[in-house]
Amino acid sequence: MAITAGEFRNGLTFEMDGSAWQVVEFQHVKPGKGAAFVRTKMKNVITGAVVERSFNPTEKFPPAIVERKEMQYSYDDGDLYHFMDTESWEETLVGHDQVADNFRFVKESMICKVLSFKGKVFGVEPPMFVELQVTQTDPGFKGDTATGASKPATLETGAQIKVPLFINEGDVLKIDTRTGEYLERV
C-alpha to C-alpha distance for 143 and 164, rounded to whole angstroms: 12
d(CA 157, CA 172): 12
**Which one of 80, 96, 125 terminates a domain?**
125
- Tell whether 75 and 111 lie within a shared domain: yes
Note down the domain range covering 80: 66-125
pTM recorded for the entire structure = 0.76
Q: What is the pLDDT of residues 49-86, one digit of tens each?
A: 899 999 999 999 999 998 999 999 999 999 999 999 99
CB 122 within 8 A of CB 170: no
Cα separation of the two ends of the chain: 47
pLDDT number for residue 126: 93
d(CA 116, CA 105): 21
Residue 89 φ then ψ, to 5°? 65, 10
For residues 183 and 172, the answer to whether their CB atoms sit within 8 Å is no
Rounded Cα distance, 42 and 34, in Å: 24
- Segment 149-180, tens digit of pLDDT: 889 999 999 999 999 888 899 999 999 998 99
Query: Which pLDDT belongs to residue 32?
Result: 87
Q: Are residues 136 and 107 in the same domain?
A: no
Q: Which of 76, 93, 125 is the last residue of a domain?
A: 125
Q: What is the pLDDT of residues 101-127, one digit of tens each?
A: 889 999 999 999 998 888 888 889 999
CATH number at residue 35: 2.30.30.30
Residues 121 and 133 reside in one and the same domain: no
User: Same domain, yes or no, for 57 and 77?
Assistant: no
Please tell me whether residues 110 and 145 are part of one structural domain.
no
Which residue, of 125, 147, 169, is where some domain finishes?
Answer: 125
Same domain, 70 and 57: no
CA-based max dimension of the chain: 70
Q: Which of 69, 109, 58, 108 is nearest to 92 (CA)?
A: 69
User: How far is Cα 154 from Cα 141, in angstroms, rounded to an integer?
Assistant: 18
pLDDT, residue 1, reads 79
Domains in the chain, number: 3
The per-residue pLDDT for 18 is: 87
